Amino acid sequence: MAEDRIVPKLAALARLRLEPGEADRLERDLSSILHHVERLQSLDMQGVDAALWTAGGEERLRPDEPGESLAVEDGLGCAAARDGRYLIVPGMREEA
């Protein structure tokens, strides 16, 4: 299984509510995915061109030019918490 019951920790960080038993199922899925990634990492890719499987062609990126912006009230209108022109977000660091 995934290390140290990581799914409940990830769900808490993402603010997801998991139904009973859902964390166990997701842990099995995550373990399966990680197992497949480990198998892929064990393949000998020496001499394989990294660009072999790309779609080719040019990148189609828009020009990086300044454009119209949202008004502060429009941008922050649905914020869960704010202080004037700033969002208030929960801390991401665990206190030691």
| Under-50 pLDDT residues of the chain | 1-2, 96
Give me the pLDDT at residue 39, please.
94
State the DSSP string of 37-80: HHHHHTS--TT--TTTTS--S---PPP--------HHHHHTT-S
Give me the pLDDT at residue 25, please.
92
Could you tell me the residue ranges of all domains in the chain? 3-41
Give me the pLDDT at residue 6, please.
87
Question: Which residues lie closer than 8 Å to 76 by C-beta, 6 or more apart?
Answer: 82, 85, 87
Give me the pLDDT at residue 3, please.
55
Give me the pLDDT at residue 61, please.
80
Give me the pLDDT at residue 1, please.
45
Could you say which of 1.10.260, 1.10.10, 3.40.50, 1.10.20 is the CATH number of the domain covering 3-41?
Answer: 1.10.20
Q: What is the pTM of this model?
A: 0.45
